[in-house]
Structure 1
Amino acid sequence: MMTNFIKKKIKIYFLLVTLFCSGKSVIYSQQNDLNNTRPIQLEEAIQLGIQNNRQLKVANTNVAIANEDLSQAKISKAPRFGLNIDYNYIGNPKIFEGFYDKSVTVDYFDYQTVGTLVASMPLYYGGLIKNKIESQKLVTQIQETVVKMTEAEVKLAITQQFFTLEKLYQQIEVTKQNISNTELRIKQLKSRVENGQNLKSDLLRTELQQSNFQVSVFQDVNNIKLVSNYLDILIGLPTDTVLKPVLVENILPSKELTIEEILAEAYQNRYEIKQSEINVKLYESFLNSTKSGFKPNLSANFIFNSQYPAQWPNFTNNTLNFWAAGLSLSWDISSFYNLKHRVGSDKLQIDKSNTQLQIVKDEIDKEVKKATVRYAETKKNIPTFLKNVELAQNHYKIIKSRYDNDFALISDMVDAEVQLNSAKISLINANLDLIIQFYSLKYAMGKL
């Protein structure tokens, strides 16, 4: 029984050693991948995003389309011209007596030409043309707000991914230091195990701890590649570019704002509110366009006609020219009853868009308060995480001293090291989360 137990222990040991060695080779290859990184600052990333982001390009194209539609709407005020030219070949007609009894062929002109030039100028269409132009201007303004909103969303996404990358790089640096420490301890333990000063289980526990640290690095490296890929797409770089953030000092503000000041900034700056306000004006413009159907239309007309041969009697061998100019008045009297429900529908749309404006303000109110609370909460937690690191370091020093003097177990050493690693990573995350929350707050205020 004892022999079987020893065999099992040996198998487990060799399995752990195999996993440890294969893990080291994988980690080594992964770390080599991070040697070929592209350094990038946040401002550069944001500028690249503004230039290359596909969502922004689509939004800007929609603005260009809206401007073209606006120019097309303005053409409605211009005069209209039409030209018509006809040419016909005419066969000689036959005149029959009775029911096709006798016929006489008439020598007639073999061709006929007619040319007509028509011009018209809208003078008054009940305000329809003016309202259509105004509506298209508002549509253009809406598309412009979409560009600003998309730009702010892209900036926020770039910022979040940028500092998430920095988190991962800093976590790797902390964990690498722990790997170096455990590497030294493993060398010491191997010697101590050979001399009978420590059990082999102490060595296995330390190797297992180092393996866990290496797995953590391996996962962080993979996450760096994934986050870099997403950031590459956002800013228009080749998608296999591994990015390395370069931080600039003085990111956080020196002055704190009250919730009232932040809300006032948000209501003034957020383009979602501006878009909703424009939507109200747009439906008011649609209502005015519908009401223009109650009014008459007046236009000026001009026509010039030339035909050969003339079709009037006694002038068949002559060219006939004539022109005419005047006014045209039309009025759809039935509009007084058939537009009634369209007017009612437009009024309801105005009420709906006003309600949606209030909903947008409520959502921004919630977003601002959430961002404010999260920013203050993260800032307040940083001293606690600093204290945790200090306590974990002191605890680690005490345990290490006790362990070096054979007054503590290897399990105590492992626990102390894990606690210190966790405390340092929590502090890193808290500091970078504070920056992310600050940019989230800027986004909520409409200042990103």
Structure 2
Amino acid sequence: MKTINALYKNQKVTRSDVLRAEVMLSNVQLSLEQADNDIRISNQRLAVLLDLGDSVQVKPTDSAGMPKPALAGLSSLKGQAQTSSYSIQKAKQNVGTLEARLKGTKSAFMPTLSFYTAYGLNYPNNLFFPPVDQAYSIGFVGLKAQYNISSLYHNKHKVEAGKLHISEAEIQSEAVADNVNQEVKSLLIKYGESLNRITVKEKTIDQSLVNYRIVSTKYFNQLALLTDLLDADNLLTASRFDLITAQTDALTIYYRLLYATGKL
């Protein structure tokens, strides 16, 4: 904007170029204010989720450009997912719980054996008549065996139902394992794609920067219009935004991959 005003004072550009640049600057300033407000609102929500006081301010850092692991180093996660995935572990624990319940149900077929004892101090001695003025103690120990015949009929259906539930849970466990395996493979493919996209976007920024410098030189030498300069600037800005988006997508896929394999 300062450069265009200087060119206008020297009668190198028209008034329309100045007005158009002012409109573009106002739009950029509004976008910047909106972005700052969105960051403040997001920080407030994050502070509520973390149960932080109003005096604590969260200052996010730019993590989009942080180093990302190579795709070859993540291939081992595909085999580890079958043992470390939360979904698979939950499904296996569900099968184990149903098996334990089935053992408890089958125990109704077994006889019950109980051991009991009692001891008491009595006064007066009622073992004689008339009662004798004396205290006496008596105790006993016993072993009781019991078997419920009706369990042969009623418990049979409960056992069959328990076996069906276990079979259903095992099938669901296999389905969960297949879904996790498919999800991990898909995320690995998408992660490799995102890394390639980052490389392409970095080259695009270099090309857009060279194009902007060429158009800028032409404009300031009155060989190009202001619209050409603005288009080149928009192309450079869009290229930088696309690179940040690609970096953020790669990180999102990476953390989803860690969560799917039980590493996060």
State the TM bucket, normalised to the shorter chain.
0.7 to 0.9
Deviation at 1:249, TM superposition (A): 9.1
Deviation at 1:226, TM superposition (A): 3.5
Corresponding residue of 2:201: 385
Structure with higher Rg: it is 1
Corresponding residue of 2:231: 415
Corresponding residue of 1:63: none
Corresponding residue of 2:40: 225
Deviation at 1:234, TM superposition (A): 5.1
* Rounded Cα–Cα distance in structure 2 between residues aligned with 1:406 and 1:189: 10
Corresponding residue of 2:138: 322
Deviation at 1:293, TM superposition (A): 0.8
Aligned residue runs from structure 1 range 21-420, under 5 A = 183-188=1-6, 191=9, 195=11, 197-233=12-48, 235-238=50-53, 241-245=57-61, 251-254=67-70, 256-257=72-73, 261-312=76-127, 313-315=129-131, 317-420=133-236
Q: In the alignment, residue 433 of structure 1 is paired with which amino acid?
A: D
SS of the equivalent of 1:333 reads coil
SS of the equivalent of 2:142 reads strand
* Rounded Cα–Cα distance in structure 2 between residues aligned with 1:434 and 1:258: 13
Question: Is the 2:64–2:247 Cα contact (8 Å) retained in structure 1?
Answer: no
SS of the equivalent of 1:366 reads helix
Corresponding residue of 1:55: none
* Rounded Cα–Cα distance in structure 2 between residues aligned with 1:250 and 1:424: 16
Question: Is the 1:251–1:435 Cα contact (8 Å) retained in structure 2?
Answer: no
Aligned-residue CA RMSD (Å): 2.6
CA 1:344 to 1:299, structure 2 compared with 1: closer, same or farther past 3 Å?
Answer: same
Residue deviations 1:385-421, cap 9 Å, x none?
Answer: 1221122112111111111111211111111111111
Deviation at 1:247, TM superposition (A): 5.5
* Rounded Cα–Cα distance in structure 1 between residues aligned with 2:186 and 2:192: 10
SS of the equivalent of 1:256 reads helix
| Unpaired segments ≥5 residues, structure 1 | 1-182
CA 1:446 to 1:235, structure 2 compared with 1: closer, same or farther past 3 Å?
Answer: same
Question: Is the 2:190–2:253 Cα contact (8 Å) retained in structure 1?
Answer: yes
| Unpaired segments ≥5 residues, structure 2 | none
Deviation at 1:297, TM superposition (A): 1.2
Q: In the alignment, residue 188 of structure 1 is paired with which amino acid?
A: A
Question: Is the 2:91–2:172 Cα contact (8 Å) retained in structure 1?
Answer: yes
Corresponding residue of 1:131: none
* Rounded Cα–Cα distance in structure 2 between residues aligned with 1:318 and 1:350: 64
Identity of aligned residues (%): 30
Q: 2:245 is matched with which residue: 429, 441, 444?
A: 429
* Rounded Cα–Cα distance in structure 2 between residues aligned with 1:342 and 1:441: 41
Q: Kindly tell me the number of residue pairs found equivalent between the two proteins.
A: 262
SS of the equivalent of 1:349 reads helix
Deviation at 1:439, TM superposition (A): 2.6
Q: TM-score, normalised by structure 1?
A: 0.53
* Rounded Cα–Cα distance in structure 2 between residues aligned with 1:237 and 1:274: 33
SS of the equivalent of 1:306 reads strand
* Rounded Cα–Cα distance in structure 2 between residues aligned with 1:365 and 1:229: 37
